[in-house]
Amino acid sequence: MTIFPPQHNNWLTENHHYLMKAIAYIDAILNYQLSDHTDNFPSLPPSHLSPPSVVEQLGHIFNLSTFERDIILLCAGMELNPHWRNLLAQIQDNPQFNFPTFHLALKIFPQPYWQGLTPESPLRYWKLIEIGSGTNLTQSPLRLDERILHYLWGIQYVDERLAPMVDNLCEIDQLVPSYEEIMEEIAQTWKKTLNRQYPVIQLCGEDSSSKQAIAQKAGLKVGLNLHGISVETLPIDLNQLYLFQRLWERECLLTNSGILLNCDWNETNETNKEKEQIISRFIDALNCPLMITTRDRRPFRRRPLVTFDIHTPTHKEQELIWQYHLGDTYDQLNGNIDQLVSQFNLSPPAIQSACVKVNSLDAHYTQKTLTFEENATLIHHQIWDICRSQARPRLEELAQRIEASADWDDLILPEKEKEVLKDILIHIKHKSTVYDKWGFATKSKRGLGISALFAGQSGTGKTMAAEVLAHTLKLDVYRIDLSSVVSKYIGETEKNLRKVFDAAEGGGAVLLFDEADSLFGKRSDVKDSHDRYANMEVSYLLQRMESYQGLAILTTNLKDSIDQAFLRRIRFVVQFPFPNHPQRAEIWRKVFPQKTPIEGLDYEKLSSLHVSGANIRNIAMNAAFLAKASSEKVMMKHILQAAKNEYIKLERPMPSNEVRGWVESV
C-alpha cells in the first residue's frame, strides 16, 4: 500500500532528497567498477522517513530484492544523468552498449541472481521495466516504465494506458439509511479479509448510480479509492486481457485503489458467449479489491462472491432525499411530496437532478401576485412535470407514448363502467396511505400493483379510457403492442417484457399492453415445452404487473379467451360495450371540435350508423377534409361520403336503412 502524506509538510522534499541519494549510490557503484576497488563498496542506508520513502515503499509493495531495486534505480538514473552513458559503455567494454542491461546489472550489483531476470520476477511480472529489442535477453536495453518513473518522484496519476477506460463514478452527498447499512456491511466484509484475498462484492439492482455511490463510499470507508471501468472496455484478445489485468493490479497497489466493474452495460446490450467468458475470466483472475455492479446475480466461479441487493429507497427515505435537496422549497409544498413519492419511484440521483432543476426555477415561483397556497400549487405542478419527464427517456425506445389529452367528457360509456374507472383513480391516488401508512404493504408485497383489463371490440374506447386516466393523473401513457413483444423463441418474451417494466419502474407512466389476446388464452393441459413456456410468459407478465408501482392496463377484444385463473390476478376488469343508439348520438355530438364549421347535422340520423366510436372519429375527420376541399362547412353529404369510404375500409356493405334520409338523394 502506497502512502503519500499531505503536501503541506516536508515529506515530499525529504523523499526527493532520498531519491537523489539513491541515484548517487548507483553512480558510486558505476564509478567503483572503473576504479582500482580500493574503496569500500557503496551502500544505501534506509531513509528513516515516516512513512518510508517511495523507493522503499516500491520495494515493499512488489517484494523487490536489493538487486531488483538497484536495477530500477539504474534505469531511473539514466533519465537524470546523461553522462552515465559513457560510464555504461566503458564498464561493458563496448561503446554501443551505453544503456542498462541485465548483463550489466549482474556484473556490477551486489547479490545478483538469475531469477530476477525471469518473466515471473517482480520487475517483469509487474511491468516495472521495459525490455527493448536485442539479440538476447541479457544484452537488450532496459528502460524504466514511465508510470514507475513518475511514481518515484511522488507523482500519482492513473497510467495513461488505463486512464481512457476509467469511468466517472456517480457521487451522492448522503446515503439513505438502507444504503448506509449496506455500505457498512461491505466495509466490514472487506476489513475482515484485509490481509487475505478480497472477495468480490456484487451489487445487484436496477439503478447504476446508487450502486456506484454505495461502492465508492464503502471503498473510502476502508481507505480505498475505486476506479470505475465498464466491461465493454475489456479486450477480447487474451494477451491484451492479461496486460490489462496486470496493469490494473499494479495501479491498485500503487494508488491503494480498487476496481468497480460495471456489468450493467453487458446486461442491457446483447453479448456473445466469448465476451461473457472474457468477463468471467477477468473477474476470477483479477487479484485486487473488486466490486461489480449488475442487475442480476452472476454465478459463483472460482473467486469468493458476496452479493448485496440494492433496492430503490423506501418511500420515507425518498421523502428525506426530497427534503434534503429542496431545502426551503420543501416547506412550501404542504406535504405534497407524499404524492410525488407515491407515484414516482425515483433513485437518489434522479431526485437530486429534479431538485436542481426545481431550484433553478425559483424566479418563476416567487411571484408576488400569488398567495402562499397558489405558489405551493405552482411548485408542486412544476416538480410533478419534472419527475414525469425523468421517467421518459428509458421508455421512449421501447414503447409508443400517446399524448393523453382526452378527458371524461370525451369518454362515452355506461355509468357502471365509468364508476370502475373512477375506482382505479382512487386506488392510485391513495395507495401510499393504504399500503404504507395503514400497513397493507407489510402483510405481503404481492398484489400491490394496480392492474386492469379493458375488454371490448375494437374502437369501443379502451385506449381513450387509458388516456382519460393518464390525463386525470397528469401522467404519460405508453402503448406496448404485445403482439410484437411475444416471441416464438423460448425466454425472449420474458426478456422483452422485462425491458419494458424495468424502464418504467421510475413511475410516471401508465402502461397500456395492447392485443393481450396474442399472449393470453385458455390454459390447457401442458402437452409440450411450448405450452409450458407459454404459461410461464403469462405468469411473468402478471407477476410484473402485480409488482409494478404504476398503473398497468391490458386490452383485449376477447375477454372470454382469457383463463379465469389469470383474471383473478387482475384487480379491475372493465367491459367496453359496443355503443348503443343514444351513446352513438352522444359521440357524434362531441366528435367535432368547437372550431370546426358544421351545418345541418342531424345527430339522431347519424347515430343510426352502426359503427364504433373509433369509426365515428375517422368518419368525422374524413368528412372535415372533404368539406374543406369543397370550401364548405361540414354537412351530412360530406359525412355520407366519408362513411362510405369507412365501410369500404371495413370491408362491409353499407345498409341503406342506416343512411336513409341523410340527404335528399338518399
Q: Do 412 and 368 share a domain, yes or no? A: no
**Domain membership flag for residue 303:** yes
Query: Looking at the predicted structure, is the pLDDT value of residue 195 above 60?
Result: no
Tell me which of 486-500, 523-537, 633-647 is least confident. Answer: 523-537
Q: Could you tell me the pTM of the whole model?
A: 0.78
d(CA 323, CA 321) in angstroms, rounded, equals 5
Q: Do 301 and 321 share a domain, yes or no? A: no
pLDDT of res. 526: 46
d(CA 225, CA 376) in angstroms, rounded, equals 43
Q: Do 512 and 601 share a domain, yes or no? A: no
Q: Do 285 and 344 share a domain, yes or no? A: no
* Amino acid code (one letter) for 436: D
The pLDDT > 90 percentage for the chain reads: 42
pLDDT of res. 664: 65
Name beta bridge partners: 244.
none
What digits encode the pLDDT tens for the residues 230-283? 998 899 899 999 999 999 999 999 998 999 999 986 554 555 778 888 998 999
Q: Do 436 and 572 share a domain, yes or no? A: yes
Q: CATH code at 633?
A: 1.10.8.60
Highest mean pLDDT out of 195-204, 510-519, 521-530, 613-622: 613-622
DSSP one-letter code for 279? H
Tell me which of 97-101, 140-144, 422-426, 487-491 is least confident. Answer: 487-491
Half-sphere exposure of 526 (CA within 13 A, CB side): 7
Q: What is the largest CA-CA distance in the chain?
A: 132
d(CA 431, CA 444) in angstroms, rounded, equals 14
**Domain membership flag for residue 652:** yes
**Domain membership flag for residue 644:** yes
Query: Looking at the predicted structure, is the pLDDT value of residue 59 above 90?
Result: yes
**Domain membership flag for residue 386:** no
Q: Do 202 and 117 share a domain, yes or no? A: no
Can you read off the three cell numbers belonging to residue 16? 526527493
Q: Do 286 and 319 share a domain, yes or no? A: no
- 57 and 3 Cβ atoms separated by less than 8 Å: yes
Look up the domain containing 589 and give its range. Answer: 581-659
CB atoms closer than 10 angstroms to residue 616: 24
Q: Do 126 and 210 share a domain, yes or no? A: no
Confidence of residue 135 (pLDDT cuts 50, 70, 90): confident
What digits encode the pLDDT tens for the residues 342-374? 888 888 888 888 888 877 765 554 555 666 677
Q: Is the dihedral of CA 50, 54, 60, 65 positive or negative?
A: negative
Q: CATH code at 198?
A: 3.40.50.300
Confidence of residue 533 (pLDDT cuts 50, 70, 90): low
Q: Do 34 and 73 share a domain, yes or no? A: yes
What is the total count of domains within the chain?
A: 5
**Domain membership flag for residue 398:** no
Cis peptide before 51 (omega within 30 of 0): yes
**Domain membership flag for residue 329:** yes
pLDDT of res. 576: 93
**Domain membership flag for residue 359:** yes
Can you read off the three cell numbers belonging to residue 345? 419511484
Look at residues 442, 471, 468, 440 and name the one whose alpha carbon lies nearest to residue 454: 468
Residue finishing a domain among 332, 361, 378: 378
pLDDT of res. 357: 82
Q: Do 263 and 336 share a domain, yes or no? A: no
Q: Do 546 and 433 share a domain, yes or no? A: yes
Report the mean per-residue pLDDT for the chain.
85
Q: Do 174 and 41 share a domain, yes or no? A: no
Query: Looking at the predicted structure, is the pLDDT value of residue 463 above 60?
Result: yes
pLDDT of res. 216: 92
Residue finishing a domain among 359, 378, 397: 378
**Domain membership flag for residue 237:** yes
Higher-pLDDT residue of 260 and 547 is 260
d(CA 477, CA 616) in angstroms, rounded, equals 23
Residue finishing a domain among 257, 287, 309: 309
